[in-house]
Structure formats: structure tokens, C-alpha cells
Amino acid sequence: MKSTKQLHQTIINQCKNNDAKAQMQLYNLYGKAMFLIAYRYVKDQFIAEDVMQDAFIKAFKNIDNYKNEVAFGAWLKRIVINQSIDQLKKKKLDLVAINEEITTNREDDNWQVECDISVDEIVAKIKLLKEKYRLVLSLYLLEGYDHQEIAQVLNITESTSRTNLLRGKKLLREQLKDTSYAAGY
């Protein structure tokens, strides 16, 4: 009996041979999770569905580039995130470059939130932020991207990424404070 990992690898190998049934199996395995990732960025169900579909098409076209260096889900997730950001760029996302001296203010890096707040509650508050802050916070805090990666993905400078992160954290902290979640402020 094959393990789940072996089964997934078999399906991926079949996809590399343009097997439509295997592509559908892969879609069924990862579709819901990839939709949720897309939705987190684009905040619209129909656009998220389109983004997810486009990401799967791109993944199937480029599946020969998948070399098992990372989990397939992680590889696909990166495609979905990039597709989501490309979609937002189409909407002419306004990411304004900020003066360098603003980024030297590092006092916002030491903030804490009480332990009784859930990740879902924080993510809900992040969703309320302006897109430029929401995107940087999501990529940095939720997806683990660094400022160099964020700058490349969003086509902004690293200093703009840092500034939007600091400002986003400040706004998030204010929202959490307003709901009595923030500690020490």
C-alpha cells in the first residue's frame, strides 16, 4: 500500500504526462486550500476562484519545473500567491514609495499581543487594512516572505516594504487595542 506522499508523487508524475484525470485529482487535493490563499489576498470570491484556476493552469503548464525540492503544496502556494498579487497589480494597486528616513524608526518592531487572541482574529483584522499594508503584512507575517522577496513580488523597494510593514503593524495594533486585545498600549 502506497503512502500519501507516494500517492501524491504518482499523481504529479501522471500530470507531467498531461493526464487529465491526474490533473483533476491534484486539483481536488489542493483546490480548497489554494482558493483560501487566493481569497486572503484578493478579498473577492469570484476573483479568488479565477486566480486559483489560473494558478492551476500555470502549475500544470510548468509542472516539469517541479523538482521535489519543496512540498508540492508549497510550490503551488507560491504560484497562487504570485497570481493573486498579479491580479491586484492589474487593479493598479497603489504602493507609494516612502522616504528612507522613515524606515529607520524601529520602535514598532517590539509589539506584543495578548495570548488569548486567535490567529483567525488577527487575520480578520489584517483583512480590514488598506491593501498595501494588508499585502505586506500577509506576505511577511503569514507567508514568511522577507523584505527582498516582498519587494520583488510587489515591485516596490525594500524600504517601502519595511515601511508598509511598520505602518501596517501600527494600524493592526490600534485595531487590536480598540477591541481590547493589545497588551501594554
The tens place of each residue's pLDDT in the chain, 185 residues long, gives: 677 778 888 999 999 999 999 999 999 999 999 999 999 888 889 999 999 999 999 999 999 988 888 889 989 999 999 898 888 877 654 443 333 333 333 344 444 545 566 667 777 888 888 888 888 888 888 788 888 888 888 888 888 889 999 998 888 888 877 765 444 44
Q: Which domains does the chain have, with CATH numbers?
A: 4-90 (1.10.1740.10), 100-178 (1.10.10.10)
d(CA 36, CA 3): 26
Global confidence as pTM: 0.62
Q: Give Cβ neighbours of residue 56 (< 8 Å, ≥ 6 apart).
A: 23, 26, 27, 31, 34, 76
Supply the pLDDT for residue 85.
85
Maximal CA-CA distance, the chain: 60
From 32, 11, 154, 149, select the one nearest 3 (Cα to Cα): 11
Q: Give Cβ neighbours of residue 58 (< 8 Å, ≥ 6 apart).
A: 79, 83
Supply the pLDDT for residue 184.
46
